[in-house]
Amino acid sequence: MIFKVLTSLSHVHKAYILLLVDLTMVATALIVATLLHGESPSALSGLWYAPAVLVTAGAAIHLLGLNRVKLNTFGIEDVAKLIVVAVATSLIGYSLSRALGSSTSSEAMWPGFASLFVVLSVISRYSMFKLVEHVYALQLPRKQVLIYGAGQTGQQMAAALQTDNEFKAFGFVDDDPNLQRLTILGLKVHSPKRVAAIVRQNRIDRVVLAMPSASQSVRLQIGKRLTALGCEVLALPSFADIVLRGEEVTAAAPIRLDTLLGRDVVENELPQTESTYRDRRILVTGAGGSIGGELCRQIARCRPQQLVLVDHSEYALYKITNELKAQNPGLRMTAVLGSIEHPELMRETLMQHKIEVVLHAAAYKHVNLVETNAFEGVRNNVIGTRVLAEEARLARVDRFILISTDKAVRPSSMMGCTKRMAELVIQDLAKRSDHTKFSMVRFGNVLGSSGSVIPLFQKQIRDFGPVTVTHPDVTRYFMTIDEAVRLVLLAGSFSRGGDVFVLDMGEPVSIYDVARKMIEAAGHTVRDEENPAGDIAITFTGLQKGEKMHEELLIGSDMLTTPHPKIMRAQEKMLSELQIASALQDLRRAIEARDEEFLTSTLRRYVETEDVEVAAQTLSKTPTLAVVGES
């Protein structure tokens, strides 16, 4: 109840409350001072000048802005202003009492009144601050921050956190024995020997290294030791450096995308697709994911008649829905919570909203997880795709676009097999559909998407390493999310049925080189044989089951042109309708029987695969044309 009242108060209301409290302190100080210097309690009857004193005090408080100072920022300067108010009020009161010959006022009373008012006002504000802090702490507990370094930067950090609503400084840690056991800004300074106990006993969420003058190697050693305690560790530059050098001292400097891509980004060279999707009724599955979310953002800018979002993750769907509402107030949008595996839900959604275009981005895509959860991978990626695509065909949707992956090309992993099988299902429906244009889009590693190597490297660098790479020679093609989604939308507009869209993506990128560039961009050096004193090491973990040394990009070799010079079209073999029906039947039987051996043999029977061990030994270069889409 108190929390709701506090959060509902406006700045004007708070100013009036503080003014009323200060005037109450003026009246209290005046009464107490009169009683202390008067001969009897009857002396209070002579306080006829009290209204003038209150008016003077109120005017001075308002003019100096004391009633507009936030409780958590009240400091020495504000106490000085209170003294000014007390002196001014005392002078006015004394002048009035002397001019009109008040018998209840003495010269000694007014200094006492002024001192008492200042003390009472400070105590009242401190008490209110502690009360409000306690109420907020019960409703919105702040995260505990331990500041490593009690010097100037650490003290500035602690002062800044005094007014923060999310974080709270617990105390300092410093190597200097002269500072230990001291109290600075109300916070104790502890010895580094007690850090582990402090973190465990006080539930410290974050440790900030406020020691910019220390060498990089010293900070890395301290950071590694603290990270092992289970709390997040951040390094803070000096505030002077932030002011003087700005972005140059950021903890993790941004790296240019073209240095990772091995080529210039091409999103500006791609034609606009707004006219293809304007005023259309569009459904996006997997809308809460990295690619699905970006599809929704770009489609929203095309001004569709309606956008329907489907995802089985409640939180992911909630986040993207709120984001789109905030950025596109006039967008007509519907969020559908559920799985593509349910035909009745997909049928109802497609028919009720009269969907014209389906962009199917829902899939389990993490190689290692699908490898150990093969039944669910097949159920979602293959059976779910078949359910959705068949319902789209029956609903006479105009266009159906499947988001696939380059791992579907002669796959060596279970995830790749499921995605290739999904492609074969769509290819089969494309041959038999008399209205819906089915298409597919393949792309590889997307910078910044969930589960990609870039966020993993960023986290490992923040944790002071080591950065893990599977093999020194492993390579991948990279795209930006904007490139990937623009190509998906282009594939939908170019689709004629039965073709593969290919983008000239330049040369494949060495993952080892990416790791080095990201470490150096963050202001660190790589620790290796040539530089044993470097900051962060790169370790090689070996290829895991299902991973390739080099991702293949094309199944066939026939290339045709498209309306855009950077995008080509390729032809690939398809399975017959009878083969697809038999494959789906066997996969369903394997899932129902939980027979993993039968599941794997079925996929290998219909999908052209590559042996993982052979792939790991293959060091030949891949083509410069990368598959981005197939329809």
- Report how many helices (DSSP H) and strands (DSSP E) the chain contains, helices first: 24, 23
pLDDT in tens, 358-369: 999 999 988 889
Phi, psi of 361 (to 5 degrees): -110, 0
2-6, 155-159, 391-395: the lowest-pLDDT one: 2-6
Across-strand partners of 476?
509
Q: Identify the pLDDT of residue 407.
A: 84
- CA gap 573, 32 in Å, rounded: 98
pLDDT in tens, 209-265: 888 777 666 776 777 677 667 777 877 765 555 554 444 444 444 455 555 666 656
3-state SS, one letter per residue, for 232-292? EEEECCCHHHHHHHHHHHCCCCCCCHHHHHCCCCCHHHCCCCHHHHCCCEEEEECCCCHHH
Q: Identify the pLDDT of residue 552.
A: 56
Torsion of CA 470, 471, 473, 478, to 10 degrees: 0
Q: Identify the pLDDT of residue 565.
A: 67
Closest CA to 487 of 504, 508, 503: 503
Cβ(306)–Cβ(296) below 8 Å: no
Phi, psi of 322 (to 5 degrees): -65, -40
Confidence bin at 614 (pLDDT 50/70/90): very low
Helices (H), 463-547: 481-494, 511-521
147-156, 255-264, 418-427, 470-479: the lowest-pLDDT one: 255-264
Cβ-based burial of 130 (10 A; exposed 0-12, middle 13-18, buried ≥19)? exposed
- CA gap 3, 1 in Å, rounded: 5
Domain 261-630 in the same topology as domain 143-249: yes
pLDDT in tens, 10-40: 778 888 888 898 889 888 888 888 777 764 4
DSSP H/E element including 212: none
Angle at which helices 414-432 and 577-593 cross, to 10°: 140
261-630: CATH superfamily: NAD(P)-binding Rossmann-like Domain (3.40.50.720)
Interval 434-463 mean pLDDT: 78
Helices (H), 268-359: 274-277, 290-301, 314-327, 343-352
Q: Identify the pLDDT of residue 624.
A: 33
Angle at 431 between CA 429 and CA 432, to 5 degrees: 65
Cβ(415)–Cβ(385) below 8 Å: no
Token pair 């001014």: residue: 88
Residues 252-274 as b or e (16 or more Cβ within 10 Å = b) = eeebebeebbbbeebeeebeebe
Q: Identify the pLDDT of residue 309.
A: 97
Q: Which residues does 43 contact at the CB level (< 8 Å), separation at least 6?
A: 34, 35, 104
Q: Is residue 577 pLDDT above 70, yes or no?
A: yes
Q: Is residue 491 pLDDT above 90, yes or no?
A: no
How confident is the prediction for the chain on average, in pLDDT?
A: 80
Amino acid of residue 313: S
Residue 568's SS3 state is: strand
CA distances from 540 to 101, 454, 473, 515, 544 (A): 93, 16, 10, 11, 11
> Does the predicted model carry a pTM greater than 0.95?
no
Domain boundaries, the chain: 2-138, 143-249, 261-630
Choose between 420 and 505: higher pLDDT: 420
pLDDT in tens, 114-133: 889 899 999 988 888 878 77
What is the set of active-site residues? 407
> Is CATH 3.90.1530.10 what the domain over 143-249 is classified as, yes or no?
no
Q: Identify the pLDDT of residue 625.
A: 35
Percent above pLDDT 90 for the chain: 29
